[in-house]
């Protein structure tokens, strides 16, 4: 048995899981939130303990040290010394063109991650900080980077290249990179196993505060809704998704907004929040049920955008065997699933409404028996996927 510590280091948070491989048992999990802010908290859970505590967390070094202390604690811990942790897997959002697979971290890799800061300014810097802190606390454990963009490196050039002058592609590396790759890889592999189809055409729909949809053919990503950055494609919690570029020019040239202000609007003040004043879908669904017209329209717009991509990706793959819903909204919102699957008879997509209303933490089929396309709900587990990839690399 090997103990793999998985770290997902955000700008003001640090998520972690200690997973035993190959049994895939979660020994401990938790989150340090509000790093560098007042009211910072450590949430920690094991088989025999669950609790939180508030304390001063000025930086990621203090956060990870607190996590380490809990893992090693005589009463609440799950390991006796740092040497019992076999390897550490780090989620790194952007690997650019440099990384197309999981990689053992060395100085060269850290430098490359730093060089990609401009492509993911909100994510790669804290990802690198988590790596640097972990190296000091666990000097004997291999540090491994699992890149969110790696799964999408299989997307062919005809789909990943933008129709702008070649110099921007060749010199500046402006192209579709895609995100949520770890999640899409995990759920589509699980779907293939469930369907018992090694070769399958799957449309994977990751719906959370951030949303994306991927066309996966025979286990490989061939197209994806997020592009150079994480604001394209589907309507998200606070992000706009697809928008006519002319709107941006108009906002700057005619309405007087700065580029920074437009970026703030499209990333943090748009999407479902911009349409309704709510970013949490549960609030939007509740308001829609009370008759709120804005929320009803926002839900229709959200589902319509997803349906458009399903049509596009069915065309790209010349068919579809299964549609997969995953992540917080995809796994829990029966309303969104119902709206997306409505009036899709042409594609042979037919929902079993009774199955759709049921809740489960297991993979399940919610399509009717006469549905040509299988509709699946597959709970995602990015931490487990990271642990599997780390183990495969270092074993």
Output the known binding site for ATP.
15, 206-210, 280-282, 328-332
Alpha-carbon distance 8 to 183, whole Å?
13
Catalytic residue, chosen from 148, 218, 244, 345, is: 148
Q: Omega before 22 cis (within 30°)?
A: yes
Alpha-carbon distance 267 to 317, whole Å?
30
Residue 104, strand partner residues? 144
- Residue pair 366/181 in contact (Cβ under 8 Å)? The answer is no
> In sequence order, which ranges of the chain are alpha helices (DSSP H)?
60-72, 107-115, 124-137, 157-160, 166-170, 181-195, 245-253, 259-268, 271-276, 281-289, 293-317, 327-332, 334-341, 353-357, 382-394
Chain center to CA of 256: 34
Alpha-carbon distance 152 to 97, whole Å?
11
**Known catalytic membership, residue 69:** no
Produce one character per residue of 194-222: b if its CB has 16 or more CB atoms within 10 Å, e if not.
beeeeebbbbbbbbbbbbbbbbbbeeebb
Alpha-carbon distance 91 to 41, whole Å?
21
Alpha-carbon distance 18 to 73, whole Å?
14
Binding site for Mg(2+): residue ranges?
A: 8, 382
- Residue pair 284/336 in contact (Cβ under 8 Å)? The answer is no
- Residue pair 267/231 in contact (Cβ under 8 Å)? The answer is yes
Binding site for substrate: residue ranges?
A: 91
Binding site: residue ranges?
A: 8, 15, 91, 206-210, 280-282, 328-332, 382
Residues catalogued as catalytic: 148
């Amino acid at each position: 048995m090997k103990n793999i510590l998985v770290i997902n280091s955000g700008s003001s948070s640090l998520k972690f899981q200690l997973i035993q491989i190959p049994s895939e048992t979660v020994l401990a999990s938790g989150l340090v939130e509000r790093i560098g802010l007042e009211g910072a908290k450590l949430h920690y859970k094991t088989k025999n303990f669950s609790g939180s505590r508030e304390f001063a967390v000025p930086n990621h070094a203090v956060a990870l040290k607190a996590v380490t202390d809990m893992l090693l604690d005589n009463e609440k811990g799950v390991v006796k010394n740092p040497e019992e942790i076999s390897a550490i897997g780090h989620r790194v959002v952007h690997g650019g063109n440099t990384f197309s697979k999981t990689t053992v971290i060395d100085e060269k890799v850290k430098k490359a991650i730093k060089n990609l800061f401009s492509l993911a300014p909100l994510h790669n810097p804290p990802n690198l900080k988590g790596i640097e802190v972990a190296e000091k606390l666990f000097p004997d454990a291999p540090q491994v980077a699992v890149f969110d963009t790696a799964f999408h490196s299989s997307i062919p050039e005809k789909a990943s290249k933008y129709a702008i002058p070649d110099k921007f592609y060749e010199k500046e590396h402006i192209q579709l990179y895609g995100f949520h790759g770890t999640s899409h890889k995990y759920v589509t592999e699980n779907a293939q196993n469930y369907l018992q189809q090694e070769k399958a055409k799957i449309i994977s729909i990751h719906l959370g505060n951030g949303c994306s949809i991927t066309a996966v053919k025979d286990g490989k990503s061939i197209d994806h809704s997020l592009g150079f950055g994480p604001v394209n494609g589907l309507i998200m919690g606070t992000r706009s998704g697809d928008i006519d570029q002319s709107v941006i020019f108009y906002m700057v040239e005619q309405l007087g907004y700065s580029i920074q202000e437009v970026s703030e609007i499209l990333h943090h003040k748009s999407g479902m929040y911009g349409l309704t004043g709510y970013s949490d879908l549960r609030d939007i669904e509740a308001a829609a049920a009370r008759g709120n017209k804005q929320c009803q329209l926002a839900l229709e717009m959200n589902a319509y955008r997803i349906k458009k991509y399903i049509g596009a990706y069915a065309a790209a793959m010349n068919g579809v065997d299964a549609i997969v819903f995953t992540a917080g909204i995809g796994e829990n919102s029966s309303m969104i699933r119902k709206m997306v699957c409505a009036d899709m008879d042409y594609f042979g997509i037919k929902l079993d409404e009774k199955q759709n209303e049921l809740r489960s933490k297991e993979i399940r089929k919610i399509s009717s028996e006469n549905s040509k396309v299988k509709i699946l709900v597959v709970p995602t587990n990015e931490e487990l996927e990271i642990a599997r990839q780390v183990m495969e690399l270092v074993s």
